[in-house]
Structure 1
């Protein structure tokens, strides 16, 4: 079976961790031997490559083509119009990518199906392209594309149209399937297929040498994610005065960093907070192993991969009770769901977890139930049914 994976959420040379969960799922699918894929991962057009232009300069530095882990990836450009661009984005995205898909056909990859990730604008654009090339489209809903974007009237209507005209929809958790049903999508045409975790890369290691190398002492919390408000890093920093013996590592970068540093100073805990900046996937396993608890205080999550990555390293979690997270943290061995999403809720969750005793071996055993095999099998069955139909 030949497919095209279509998404703006895909790693590249400039942003190697961007959308890595999409790449990981695809690599496991291709490894089955039943599917070959080409990746079309559009990026916004921008004329200047200099770093002083921030993320737009990053877009300009993304190569036109690259190969990642044996996957051929093309990065066509599409225009982004400030302020009004949200409503126009699917049409712009489809127009920018049409030539890339046509070239794939000309080069011998006459694909059977478009595998799209993220509903808006990617999924909407994919359905438009599917109609143009007369190919079925499967869209994977991943989180804020369904939990947040439909609050805007035009994107909401386009998401509803795409759901009605796609061959099938995949969600990464049951909560997103329920929300799509609220939006009017047919539940019979929606299949939840959760993300898995790489159990070989994320696995328990000898913690003491790692902690010594990282100069860690005492009880250590870890918070991972882009430094933006929805990730709730401020709540974890705010919990430190209530956890006087705990230190905190924050992995990630983003616009919230100055505010978080200021908050730590205001609370008098700046000596107990370490900002790690961007941490690569290979390095993350060490930080998960070094930590005693991972805290994820997000206001929304589809399926938070960091939870499973930490658990696979034997590190239990304290997490907010939002969207798909209760489906991930579904056992005492996994960790604790906060009673309230607040600094006190974080502190109470950490104290409750410590009081019950931390069994890192049990946490690892729990994570072993989340391999990628079931997800790959589910995709293959679904894609085969669509091809037969």
Structure 2
């Protein structure tokens, strides 16, 4: 097909109030948008009076404008009713209801979308499959890691399964997530792994001395770095707890903590308290959140990248670190082993094994790594091949549905 207009549906997407949220989704789909017409609909959870909560939790559900244009792409932020922590079983339905009016308006304005592409199976994928029924188009879902805890939740699990069964195609960023979906009953033929990629125009190594001067770091010390949201899942505290024993072996060691709060929360105060309790103030540097364009410098200043995460789909930041020449130390969860699939790229350690994490970091700091080989591996995993697969899949789905019955209205939705 010459054109297959796509609606990207995801509640996690960057906006002016939260520019660092969901960048991995935008990176992927804006590249698809260079070939296919693309509009983003990013429903935002809302309930009356929720702004009052931001007095106590400043980063809670940061407000977004109803419409933005990002790199020439229209992005809409309709609201949907969602009480915090309550009635999660209805989030998917209310998200679909909140997005329906926007999609209907797009149709009337001439954007005759042929596919709805939802990211995360619940609530986004569930909402996407409902909207696909209402508008008579196919729906794809991309699994990104939240499906692991959701599959253990007795309330959300059946809704997650329903979304997987209703979807026309299920992409996953790792094979481990594809196997999870198959275990939940999804036909194996419906799933396809399409991992994340790396933008080598943004991420490439720069001279270490120059990078360290820019970061005000000594040339003669070992440097660890982690990048991510400052939330429990990412495991910054697990790395900090390993530092005292590492400092005995590497006295000048620095640990760079790059990141800030996210919709999951912000544990910076707890991390700073832990650093103070362990007497590590001269060894841990809180760099705050950074724009992707600025990360190459701080990554190039480090010796080893580490992320002791509890749950992960496919961490983009691993390839970004590799593109700057860093070996990666990560926990054996989600798709981490698939990204760090060779001992020449780093080490995978059991989650929760602090001794194994400490040993791996110690060994990584003294090993003579083939950094050119690490960079070459990252450059073999750019976005280009991933995007080609997605475009072919979207076009195939649109061809299958070409000539189907007129779009249904909301009244023909059936059960949620």
Alignment TM-score, normalising by the size of structure 2: 0.89
Question: How many matched pairs?
Answer: 384
**Deviation at 1:48?**
6.9
Residue number in structure 2 paired with 1:251? 258
Secondary structure (helix, strand or coil) at the match of 2:224 reads strand
Q: How does 1:1-389 map to 2 (within 5 A)?
A: 1-31=4-34, 33=35, 35-45=36-46, 52=55, 54-56=58-60, 58-59=62-63, 62-144=64-146, 146-217=147-218, 218-244=221-247, 245=250, 246-254=253-261, 255-339=266-350, 341-389=352-400
Shift in alpha-carbon separation, 1:49–1:281, aligned structure 2, 3 A: farther
Secondary structure (helix, strand or coil) at the match of 2:342 reads coil
CA contact (8 A) 1:338 1:348 kept: no
**Deviation at 1:253?**
2.2
CA contact (8 A) 1:242 1:344 kept: no
Structure 1 runs of 4+ aligned residues shifted over 4 Å read 46-51
Name stretches of at least 5 consecutive residues in structure 2 with no aligned partner.
401-416
| d(CA) in 2 for partners of 1:67, 1:340 | 41
CA contact (8 A) 2:96 2:127 kept: yes
CA contact (8 A) 2:67 2:76 kept: yes
Secondary structure (helix, strand or coil) at the match of 1:345 reads helix
| d(CA) in 1 for partners of 2:367, 2:268 | 33
| d(CA) in 1 for partners of 2:78, 2:153 | 27
| d(CA) in 1 for partners of 2:349, 2:290 | 26
**Deviation at 1:367?**
0.7
Higher RCO structure (Cα 8 Å, ≥6 apart): 2
**Deviation at 1:285?**
1.7
Q: What's the Cα RMSD here?
A: 1.6
CA contact (8 A) 1:299 1:320 kept: yes
Q: 1:233-269 CA distances to partner (integer Å, 9 max, x unpaired)? A: 1111011112112210111123322222222222222
Name stretches of at least 5 consecutive residues in structure 1 with no aligned partner.
none
**Deviation at 1:284?**
1.5
CA contact (8 A) 1:42 1:77 kept: yes
Alignment TM-score, normalising by the size of structure 1: 0.95
**Deviation at 1:321?**
1.2
**Deviation at 1:85?**
3.0
